[in-house]
Amino acid sequence: MASKFEILVTKNGGYRFALKAANGQVVSTSQVYKTVVTCKKGIASVKVNALAHIEDQTIDEAEVVTLKNPKYEVYRDKAGEFRFRLRAKNGQVILASEGYGTKAGCQNGIASIGKNAPEAEVVLVDTQAD
C-alpha cells in the first residue's frame, strides 16, 4: 500500500484530510476546510512544503532560532507531549500532529511527512469524520 491523503467529510459538512503512511498509520491531520477544493489546496501546500526546516520551540527561549515560513514548529503542549505543526509560506498552519511522548518520536513524524507526502495520492473517503 502506498501513502495517501484521505479527504474526509466532517459532520458539519466541511472537509479535512489525514496523511496516512504506507503502513496505514495516520501521520497527521489538517484543519477543517469549507470546501473540497480548499482542502485539496491544503494538500498541495503540504506536498510543496513537506521538506521545510524545523524550528525547535522546546529549547530555552534564548536559544530558539526563529525561521522563516514555511517551517515545522516543534513544541510541547499543555500535557507535556511533543507536537508539531507545519506552517505554509504565508504562516497559515496547514498540518498538525498528534502528541508524542518523546521529541525523537515527533521528529520521526516530521521525517515521515517528508518521505510520504510529496508523492502521496489523494483519495476522497465516503465516510464522515468528527
Contacts made by residues 28-34, CB under 8 angstroms, sequence distance 24+: 28/86, 28/95, 28/96, 28/97, 28/98, 28/109, 28/113, 29/95, 29/96, 29/98, 30/94, 30/95, 30/96, 31/93, 31/94, 31/96
- Supply the CATH number for residue 110's domain: 2.30.29.80
Residue 1 has pLDDT above 70, yes or no: no
Boundaries of domain holding 36: 4-129
| pTM for the structure as a whole | 0.88
Number of domains in the chain: 1
Phi/psi zone of residue 122: left (φ > 0), alpha (ψ -120 to 50 degrees), beta? beta
Model pLDDT for residues 61-117, shown as the tens digit of each residue: 878 788 999 999 999 999 999 999 999 999 999 999 989 999 999 999 999 999 999
